[in-house]
């Protein structure tokens, strides 16, 4: 009997150890739910997502309410597009397995990027895609003939990734101010260029990032 009691005790301790080390299913505690309401919105445009996880997203109902499921636990930030010219960012902390109610969000004037694409060496550039990293903001089928607005976005700084058939994918950085437009001049290098040519054309601070100069539109 004493042996049986010892075995049962050891078995119980083993199960507790598995739970502490993640041996059991902890998935419900790795994500939470975020709920809130926009004070101003256009239901045809409004979209709420998580910075860095743009696929975690929600629209709004007729009262401006939104609910995001499976938001990764820990520090997070909401990326909110409310109307064609208003947006917001909301920092918060998500507790795994719990629901977080954020205070009513009052969107502010948004900013936009005014993207101008160029192909190095007068190379024709078509069917390009520009994406604001970590957000659902994306524009497709761009070319070098006409600039394109990318937004709206809450005030802040962002990375923008640009790709086009026949060119090396490029990443640039830029900041937008509330109610203003920031010009991004992006020059793409044709595929097949040598490493030295890429450095000469794009800069070598980072092998995958071009050193473009951004300026605010006046």
Return the domain boundaries, the chain.
27-109, 111-216
Taking residues 33-39, what's their average pLDDT? Answer: 97
Query: Residue 177, SS3?
Result: coil
Q: Do domains 27-109 and 111-216 have the same CATH topology?
A: yes
Residue 169 near residue 163 (C-beta atoms within 8 A): yes
Taking residues 129-139, what's their average pLDDT? Answer: 97
CATH code, 111-216: 2.60.40.4130
Q: What pTM, to 2 d.p., does this model score?
A: 0.75
* Residue 22 confidence class, pLDDT cut points 50, 70, 90: very low
Place of tokens 């009262």: 63
Query: Residue 43, SS3?
Result: coil
Tokens of 152: 């709206």
Asked if the model's pLDDT at residue 52 lies above 80, the reply is yes
65-72/148-153 β-pairing:
unpaired
Place of tokens 């005790």: 9
Taken as a whole, the chain contains a residue count of 218
- Residue with more model confidence, 155 or 27: 155
Place of tokens 């975690």: 56
User: 209: left (phi > 0), else alpha (psi -120 to 50), else beta?
Assistant: beta
Beta-bridge mates of residue 90? 78
The 10s digit of each residue's pLDDT in 78-99 is 999 999 999 999 999 999 999 9
> For residue 193, what pLDDT is reported?
60
> For residue 194, what pLDDT is reported?
52
Q: How far apart, in whole angstroms, are the C-alpha atoms of residue 214 and residue 113?
A: 10
Peptide bond into 135 cis (omega under 30): no
Q: How far apart, in whole angstroms, are the C-alpha atoms of residue 67 and residue 36?
A: 7
The 10s digit of each residue's pLDDT in 166-207 is 999 999 999 999 999 999 999 999 998 655 554 544 455 554
Q: How far apart, in whole angstroms, are the C-alpha atoms of residue 155 and residue 82?
A: 13
> For residue 28, what pLDDT is reported?
60
Tokens of 38: 């926009």
Burial (0-12, 13-18, 19+ Cβ within 10 Å), 90? middle
* Residue 48 confidence class, pLDDT cut points 50, 70, 90: very high
For residue 145, how many other CB atoms are within 10 A of its CB?
9
Tokens of 113: 């990027």
DSSP state of 85: S
> For residue 197, what pLDDT is reported?
52
Q: How far apart, in whole angstroms, are the C-alpha atoms of residue 73 and residue 85?
A: 30
CATH code, 27-109: 2.60.40.1120
> For residue 67, what pLDDT is reported?
97
């Amino acid at each position: 009997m004493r042996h049986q009691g010892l075995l049962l005790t050891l078995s119980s301790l083993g199960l507790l150890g598995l739970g502490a080390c993640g041996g059991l299913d902890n998935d419900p505690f790795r994500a939470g739910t975020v709920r809130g309401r926009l004070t101003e919105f256009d239901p045809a445009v409004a979209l709420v997502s998580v910075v860095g996880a743009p696929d975690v997203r929600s629209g709004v109902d007729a009262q401006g309410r939104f609910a995001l499921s499976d938001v990764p636990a820990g520090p997070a930030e909401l990326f909110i597009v409310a109307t064609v010219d208003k947006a917001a960012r909301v920092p918060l902390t998500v507790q795994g397995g719990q629901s977080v109610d954020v205070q009513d969000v009052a969107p502010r004037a948004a900013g936009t990027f005014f993207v101008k694409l160029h192909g190095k060496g007068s190379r024709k550039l078509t069917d390009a895609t520009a994406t604001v990293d970590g957000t659902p903001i994306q524009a497709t089928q761009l070319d070098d003939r006409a600039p394109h607005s990318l937004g709206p976005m809450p005030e802040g700084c962002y990375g923008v990734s640009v790709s086009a058939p026949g060119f090396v994918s490029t990443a640039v950085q830029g900041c937008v101010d509330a109610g203003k437009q920031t010009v991004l001049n992006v020059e793409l290098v044709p595929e097949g260029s040598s490493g030295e040519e890429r450095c000469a054309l794009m800069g070598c601070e980072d092998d995958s990032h071009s050193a473009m100069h951004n300026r605010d539109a006046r």
